[in-house]
């Protein structure tokens, strides 16, 4: 615990910060006060929490990771409180006051620590490289902001100038060169975070109205929770993200949409490079510049999950942080690393169970391997038995949970493939392993891009196996097998979920969604081994010839640029992402419908992005309750009957009878049919609908047509 004088000073700071923030929530509601004192609040009490969790580490690490652990604590406590109560202003004010008070009284060791002084002189070459990188990064950001659009596009690369890739490549090459030679580690880490932020922010900047579909649903939910304290029905998952966004919105007095947009990208940009560097420093003894280079090489893997805030993406980030901290535990065998592992694991579970359950399995294996120790034969037999049982149960855990959740009356229905169970030959056919992709379309650039993309998982596996073999050979540490073991457990879960379980409530192209997410999560458990192998390669190159170094820097810069391209939706000769973004025309269409139908009960037959526009503009405005089922007035989700009526109207023929059938189902007398200009056979659909509909309106010079049907 803090000494008496320090405790009194800390309590005074706690009282002043909490009082100002609480008064601001109820009285001033000033963004300026919220940002200044909210940031001070997080930094100060985060540092105190870091002193407790990382009490033997340098002050800088207590400060940096203390903030992460405070964010985790707020997420966990907020999720628990919201589950039982709500998150209105009064509850948030109480939490803002009590959470730091509890942190103040946590036991802390008063160890005199002096951070390592960086007395390295600035070299002219370092100043030139830093200046060059910052200019290139500025030029990259400028091009992205100049490419902002509210029009319908399938890929950001439709509107971003091709020069962006050249500038980004040069920026990456310049930064890698700097990281190789610069001895000012703090500067290298800051610039690595800047580059990570640049890499992940393309969609956030280019799509001016927002990117994706799910984020609009989550943002609308977060807005309702921040405004009213809760939303009905109260969700049983994603609470870790919802509570964090709602509480930050009140703490800083900024919109939930701003918090949501910046939350994941900001956390990834700060904590992935820093955590990789920190863990490598704690595990190995080498030139620290090698660790910073390795931290940047994380961008070789195109993590699309991190380009927009979703509960899945946020939970994936915390999953990776758990796995990275566990590497320090496995290599050093110091039990102190269990504290951050446990905190981050609980956070992952609070945010999303699909990421949380694999991490829980992983941590259970870690505990058995690291904590259960005895020289007695009977105990070791007992330990091996428990380990085997956990492995067997863990291998079917997620499919089992999906089935149980479905039978328990959940909104996500599942069905079991009985034909596959009864026919062993079909099971054998499903055991095929994807082969290497070696196709050649005689386009050098795109052949290389897709050669990399389509063999990426094989590349990760091979490099990780090399890293594992090297580590075990050097350290004789068999506990490292926990990483490939968990990888195989999650892969088995993926295979069972993909082949034996289907989701009839989802539209066909979305049914692979959950298994695919699980497949991607499985590779996270190979990351420590993958990064270690990259660290070995780069450290060897450091002491090689100058020409080989330059060749390596060019090679790495090219593939990081390739990874950037692959991380976002694409429309090229090799790959086509069919989804369009939210447009201003969608916004104008839903505003028109809302005004035109304000005196009526009505339904709308529209695509996903128009439905997202309605959610963005009017939140969860209208529901219909039919035969015990709840239906939104737009087609949401895509398994909803309204979406099938929309598909009938847009793919077959926009008949009045189809609109009447949808009205009959919902018990209304008015329906709107919305068609976007980018839709297949748009002109034909519009011509037919003009004849069938009772009235119609052209939005934004034909970008959208709205047809009205009445009984």
Distance CA 139, CA 131 (A): 12
- Read off the pTM: 0.95
HEC per residue, 575-640: CECCCCCCCHHHHHHHHHHHHHCCCCCEEEECCHHHHHHHHHHHCCCCEEEECCEEEECCCCCCCC
* Residue at token pair 């062993």: 424
Counting every residue, how long is the chain? 711
Distance CA 523, CA 439 (A): 24
Distance CA 75, CA 77 (A): 6
411-422 per-position pLDDT tens digit: 567 778 776 666
Distance CA 611, CA 615 (A): 6
* Residue at token pair 């996270």: 524
Distance CA 159, CA 157 (A): 5
Can you give the pLDDT at residue 233? Answer: 83
Cα 137 off chain centre by: 23
Burial class from Cβ neighbours inside 10 Å (0-12, 13-18, 19+) for residue 553 reads buried
Can you give the pLDDT at residue 428? Answer: 62
Between strands 704-710 and 695-699, the pairing is antiparallel
Distance CA 248, CA 19 (A): 16
Can you give the pLDDT at residue 506? Answer: 67
Distance CA 497, CA 143 (A): 42
| Low-confidence spans in the chain with pLDDT less than 70 | 1, 109-120, 373-375, 377-378, 407-412, 419-422, 424-435, 504-511, 638-639
Cα 403 off chain centre by: 25
């Amino acid at each position: 615990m803090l000494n008496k004088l320090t405790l009194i000073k800390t309590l005074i700071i706690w009282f002043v910060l909490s009082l100002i923030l609480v008064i601001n929530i109820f009285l001033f509601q000033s963004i300026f006060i919220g940002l200044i004192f909210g940031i001070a609040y997080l930094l100060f009490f985060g540092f105190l929490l870091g002193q407790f969790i990382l009490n033997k580490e340098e002050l800088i690490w207590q400060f940096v990771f203390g903030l992460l652990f405070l964010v985790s604590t707020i997420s966990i406590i907020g999720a628990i409180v919201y589950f039982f109560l709500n998150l209105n202003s009064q509850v948030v004010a109480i939490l803002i006051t009590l959470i730091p008070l509890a942190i103040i009284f946590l036991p802390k060791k008063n160890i005199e620590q002096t951070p390592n002084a960086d007395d390295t002189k600035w070299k002219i070459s370092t100043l030139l490289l830093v200046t060059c990188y910052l200019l290139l990064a500025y030029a990259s950001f400028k091009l992205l902001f100049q490419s902002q659009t509210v029009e319908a596009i399938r890929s950001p690369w439709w509107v971003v100038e091709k020069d962006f890739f050249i500038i980004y490549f040069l920026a990456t090459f310049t930064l890698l060169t700097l990281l190789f030679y610069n001895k000012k580690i703090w500067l290298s880490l800051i610039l690595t975070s800047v580059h990570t932020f640049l890499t992940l922010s393309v969609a956030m900047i280019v799509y001016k109205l927002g990117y994706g579909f799910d984020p609009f649903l989550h943002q609308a939910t977060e807005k309702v929770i921040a405004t009213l304290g809760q939303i009905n029905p109260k969700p049983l998952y994603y609470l870790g993200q919802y509570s964090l966004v709602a509480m930050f919105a009140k703490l800083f007095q900024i919109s939930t949409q701003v918090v949501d947009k910046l939350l994941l990208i900001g956390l990834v940009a700060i904590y992935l490079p820093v955590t990789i560097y920190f863990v490598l420093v704690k595990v190995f003894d080498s030139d620290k510049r090698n660790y910073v280079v390795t931290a940047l090489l994380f961008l070789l893997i195109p993590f699309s999950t991190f380009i927009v805030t979703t509960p899945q993406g946020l939970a994936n980030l915390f999953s990776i942080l758990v796995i990275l901290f566990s590497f320090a535990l496995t290599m050093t065998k110091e039990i102190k690393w269990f504290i951050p592992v446990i905190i981050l694991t609980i956070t992952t579970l609070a945010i999303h169970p699909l990421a949380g359950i694999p991490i829980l399995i992983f941590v259970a294996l870690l505990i058995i391997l690291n904590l259960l120790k005895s020289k007695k034969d009977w105990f070791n037999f007992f330990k091996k038995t428990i380990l085997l049982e956990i492995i067997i149960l863990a291998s079917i855990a997620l499919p089992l949970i999906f089935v149980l959740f479905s039978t328990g009356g959940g909104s996500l229905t599942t069905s079991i493939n009985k034909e596959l169970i009864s026919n062993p030959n079909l099971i054998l056919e499903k055991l095929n392993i994807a082969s290497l992709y070696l196709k050649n379309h005689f386009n050098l650039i795109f052949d290389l891009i897709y050669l990399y993309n389509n063999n990426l998982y094989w590349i990760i596996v091979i490099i990780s196996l090399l890293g594992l073999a090297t580590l075990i050979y050097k350290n004789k540490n068999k506990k490292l097998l926990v990483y490939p073991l968990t990888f195989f457990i999650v892969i088995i879960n993926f295979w069972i979920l993909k082949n034996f379980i289907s989701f009839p409530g989802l539209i066909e192209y979305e049914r692979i969604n959950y298994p695919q997410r699980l497949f991607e999560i499985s590779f996270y458990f190979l990351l420590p081994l993958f990064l270690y192998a990259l660290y070995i390669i780069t450290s060897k190159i450091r002491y090689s010839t100058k020409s080989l170094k330059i060749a390596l820097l060019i090679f790495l810069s090219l593939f990081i640029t390739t990874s950037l391209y692959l991380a976002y939706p694409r429309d090229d000769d090799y790959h086509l992402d069919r989804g369009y973004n939210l447009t201003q025309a969608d916004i104008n269409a839903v505003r028109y419908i809302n005004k035109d139908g304000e005196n009526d009960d009505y339904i709308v037959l529209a695509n996903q992005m128009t439905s997202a526009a309605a959610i963005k503009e009017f939140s969860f405005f209208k529901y219909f309750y039919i035969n015990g089922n709840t239906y939104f007035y737009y087609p949401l989700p895509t398994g909803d009957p309204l979406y099938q009526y929309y598909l009938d109207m847009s793919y077959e023929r926009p008949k009045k009878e189809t609109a009447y059938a949808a009205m009959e189902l919902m018990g209304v007398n008015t329906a709107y049919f919305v068609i976007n200009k980018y839709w297949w056979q748009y002109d034909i659909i519009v011509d037919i609908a003009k004849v069938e509909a009772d009235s119609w309106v052209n939005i934004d010079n034909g970008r959208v047509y709205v047809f009205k049907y009445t009984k």
